[in-house]
Structure 1
Amino acid sequence: MPSFAAQSPFASNPVATKDDLRNFLVGLLDPLAAHTSPGGARIQVGFTGTHFDEAAAQLEGFSRPIWGLASLLAGGGKYDGVERWVRGFSNGTNPDHEEFWGNMRNKDQRMVECSAIGFSLAVAKEHLWDALEDAGKKHLETWLGGMNDKEMPNTNWLWFRVFSNLGLSKVGSPRFDGKRMKADLDHLDTFYIGGGWSRDGPEGIVQLDYYSSSFAIQYAQLVYSKLAQAEDPDRCEEYRNRARQFAQDFVHYYDPEGRAIPFGRSLTYRFAMSSFWGAVAFADLDLPAPLTWGVVRGLQLRNIRWWAKQAGAYNADGTLTIGYVYPNQSMTENYNSPGSPYWCCKSFITLSLPLSHPFWASPEESYPASLLNTVKVLKHPFHIACSLSGHTYILSSGQQCSYPVKNSAAKYGKFGYSSAFGYSVAVGNGTLEEAGGDGALALSDDGGHQ
């Protein structure tokens, strides 16, 4: 009899080698062709409401896959559809084209999407920048540099302007603003609190989630430490030292199967949760024991491998759904458009490395046995990391999001978070069934009926 069990379109990929990882990326990029606008500048996978305009949402769909595409090209790989993005750069930044992304405004979602574009110019210039005609280059540098005089949120967003300027500097653009980049970096460094950890904002913010690691700050610091070593050696070495310390805490958020502990916001970015380990490799950073290159490779690939097999993370055509292991709007944020999940493409950064790199040359190793059956206090994020009886989880206290997000209490305020069970969010406030009260102390005042 035929099986009607849902299966991921990528379930057969073992995600064990560089070729496997490339094939997974190509499998994510190819379906986007059918959702790409004629001019190449916009990708619309579906429809949701966001707090920003639709043009920015479609730019998000265009830009986020570039994290993976640029890494593939930087590592000597080829992709037949690269022309779509080259054409999109030219048309999306042209004010006279119907697919123009729109001019940058203060605190604009467009700023977020500039980070992938800046990264792509820095690592894959000959494939993306050099392929543009002179007019296209002029439009792109003008549009990208348009954020330098705009107000930005006082958060990890400042890294997005750093990456824009880094990209502009690598292509020799006059729109590069070195003073602006240094000021942003100096301010971002005030977020640092010790032990490798940075909070996602100024003093008083108690938010140390995946944005403090793989989604933004640690990832960005490591990539910067590789790309700006010659120009900013002292800061780059400081970032590398932070990562060495941070890694010894961050490893406790992963279990032997490759799953990361769900905690905080933006979890629809999925295996971007493990992109820190790829950034470690990109930066050529040796870590303290027991984090050998084989262990780092295992931490990265097991997480991607696990996600490749989650059927609910993908639509039938191979595009990503909005949710976690299945489509779920209740746990998402008001800034999640259908293109948002492609932030996961940051985890393909190891495609930029040659096979001779120790990440690829070292055999994959299991999760370190010395970290199993342990309990570790993680001082800065207010977590107690537990690996006991085959269960990986954290006990949590003290964190909160500094601005309103959906179900913030569930994302930051529960007592425990598990790699095996995830967490639930409320879908209403009327009944016990709507509450999603796992990992929490819940009181009933209905006389014991529920």
Structure 2
Amino acid sequence: MLWEGPTQILVDAAYIAESFLRAPDATWKLLNETTRQRYIQCFKGLRVIRPAYNNWLLFRAMTEAFLLSIGEEADRFALTVAVNKLNEWYLSDGWYSDGPEFALDYYNSYVIHPMYVEILEVCKAKKFQTPVSTVLAICRMQRFNVFIERLISPEGTYPAFGRSVIYRMGAFQTLALASWKYGLPEELSNGQVRSALSTVMRNMFSIEGNFDDKNFLRLGFAGHQPELANYYTNNGSLYMTALVFMPLALPVTHPFWSDQAAEWTSQKAWSGKPFPIDGHHSLRNEK
């Protein structure tokens, strides 16, 4: 970690804090007290960074939520702004706007849904008032999951649109998170999600050029396509794709692994088989 320099370090810190929240026994609790104090001071030192007025509010809020979770003094104003603005930016039907203007990309999966849900969970545990409940935020994410699963084609590909497509399978972080922690929406079975994601992975990573001669990922979507890199991305950014591996935390007996493989929605739709009807969900009201 570079704790001084460009504002991108706030993003790096947020993902470290998120890992501490997701797997404390394997991360935070294994650190000695000196190292813990260093992280705490570094997270607090990032308060001088002014986050962009979009999903970056969640990066700032994530570090503050982590500090709150371990009993440290948190910047409650930064938390309040983030949880309130994200709710105001909810458009409907499982989609948040990334700031005042909507951007059609995968940032609802890369950042917005997962971090918003996890920040709200900390707030609830610490009795910090929020504009929406964790239940409602999870319902919104599950609606998004229904949509994102339908983007997987019958062949096991998905459209490369929007910013940061070099994050590859990170586009399905919300499906992976739900599979691991919350359960899938009732419209989706474990067998179909496992089959769909596995097929996309095989299609993506069997293409020549994804890895260099030392087996590190290279810039690209499916292969080596460095022209797809945004100004804020580097080789470390590529490992956002690993977020799809969260179901690996489940035991082999879990239905995600033990259920029989099944066709996903677009496979059924394009082979003339019955598949669930879809429709608009508002999910604006408190539950």
What TM-score do the two structures reach when normalised by structure 2?
0.83
Per the TM alignment, residue 278 of structure 1 is displaced from its structure 2 partner at its CA by: 0.2
Please state which structure has a larger fraction of its residues in helix: 2
Q: Is the 8 A contact 1:223 1:282 kept in 2?
A: no
Per the TM alignment, residue 268 of structure 1 is displaced from its structure 2 partner at its CA by: 1.1
Over 3 Å counting, the alpha-carbon distance change for 1:321 and 1:286 in structure 2 is closer
Q: Is the 8 A contact 1:111 1:160 kept in 2?
A: yes
| Paired letter, 2:111 | A
Over 3 Å counting, the alpha-carbon distance change for 1:252 and 1:126 in structure 2 is closer
| Paired letter, 2:197 | Q
Q: Is the 8 A contact 1:226 1:283 kept in 2?
A: no
Matches within 5 A, 1:117-132: 117-132=16-31
| Paired letter, 1:363 | Q
Show the counterpart of 2:164.
266
| Paired letter, 2:133 | R
Q: Does 1:162 align with 2:61?
A: yes
Q: Does 1:181 align with 2:82?
A: no
Q: Is the 8 A contact 1:159 1:220 kept in 2?
A: yes
Show the counterpart of 2:106.
210
C-alpha distance in structure 1 between counterparts of 2:209 and 2:16, whole Å: 29
Unaligned 5+ segments in structure 1 are 1-58, 60-100, 381-450
Matches within 5 A, 1:41-60: 59=1
Per the TM alignment, residue 245 of structure 1 is displaced from its structure 2 partner at its CA by: 2.3
Per the TM alignment, residue 207 of structure 1 is displaced from its structure 2 partner at its CA by: 0.7
Q: Does 1:336 align with 2:241?
A: no
Show the counterpart of 2:46.
147
* Partner secondary structure for residue 228 of structure 2: coil
C-alpha distance in structure 2 between counterparts of 1:218 and 1:257, whole Å: 27
Show the counterpart of 1:191.
89
C-alpha distance in structure 2 between counterparts of 1:164 and 1:283, whole Å: 21
* Partner secondary structure for residue 185 of structure 2: coil
Q: Is the 8 A contact 1:277 1:297 kept in 2?
A: no
Show the counterpart of 2:115.
220
Q: Is the 8 A contact 2:218 2:235 kept in 1?
A: yes
C-alpha distance in structure 2 between counterparts of 1:271 and 1:373, whole Å: 25
C-alpha distance in structure 1 between counterparts of 2:142 and 2:48, whole Å: 34
Per the TM alignment, residue 318 of structure 1 is displaced from its structure 2 partner at its CA by: 1.1
C-alpha distance in structure 1 between counterparts of 2:90 and 2:237, whole Å: 27
Q: 2:246 aligns with which of 349, 353, 361?
A: 349
Matches within 5 A, 1:355-394: 355-368=252-265, 369-372=267-270
Q: Is the 8 A contact 2:157 2:200 kept in 1?
A: yes
C-alpha distance in structure 2 between counterparts of 1:328 and 1:277, whole Å: 26
What TM-score do the two structures reach when normalised by structure 1?
0.55
C-alpha distance in structure 1 between counterparts of 2:157 and 2:116, whole Å: 24
C-alpha distance in structure 1 between counterparts of 2:194 and 2:122, whole Å: 21
C-alpha distance in structure 2 between counterparts of 1:354 and 1:168, whole Å: 30
Please identify, of 348-357 and 132-141, the stretch whose mean Cα deviation from structure 2 is larger: 348-357
| Paired letter, 1:335 | Y
| Paired letter, 1:152 | P
The one-character-per-residue Cα deviations of 1:339-370 (angstroms, maximum 9, x if unpaired) are 22111121122223333433233223222344
Per the TM alignment, residue 373 of structure 1 is displaced from its structure 2 partner at its CA by: 6.5
Q: Is the 8 A contact 2:168 2:241 kept in 1?
A: yes
Show the counterpart of 1:72.
none
Over 3 Å counting, the alpha-carbon distance change for 1:220 and 1:295 in structure 2 is farther
Matches within 5 A, 1:272-291: 272-289=170-187, 291=188
Show the counterpart of 1:103.
4
C-alpha distance in structure 1 between counterparts of 2:137 and 2:67, whole Å: 22
Which structure would you say has the larger Rg? Answer: 1
Show the counterpart of 1:304.
201
The one-character-per-residue Cα deviations of 1:110-143 (angstroms, maximum 9, x if unpaired) are 0111122112211332333233332221111110
Q: Tell me the percent identity.
A: 22
The one-character-per-residue Cα deviations of 1:242-265 (angstroms, maximum 9, x if unpaired) are 123223322232112321111112
| Paired letter, 2:112 | I
Show the counterpart of 1:244.
142
Please identify, of 268-277 and 161-170, the stretch whose mean Cα deviation from structure 2 is larger: 161-170
Show the counterpart of 1:316.
213
Show the counterpart of 1:74.
none
Q: How many residues align?
A: 273
The one-character-per-residue Cα deviations of 1:379-428 (angstroms, maximum 9, x if unpaired) are 99xxxxxxxxxxxxxxxxxxxxxxxxxxxxxxxxxxxxxxxxxxxxxxxx
Unaligned 5+ segments in structure 2 are 282-287
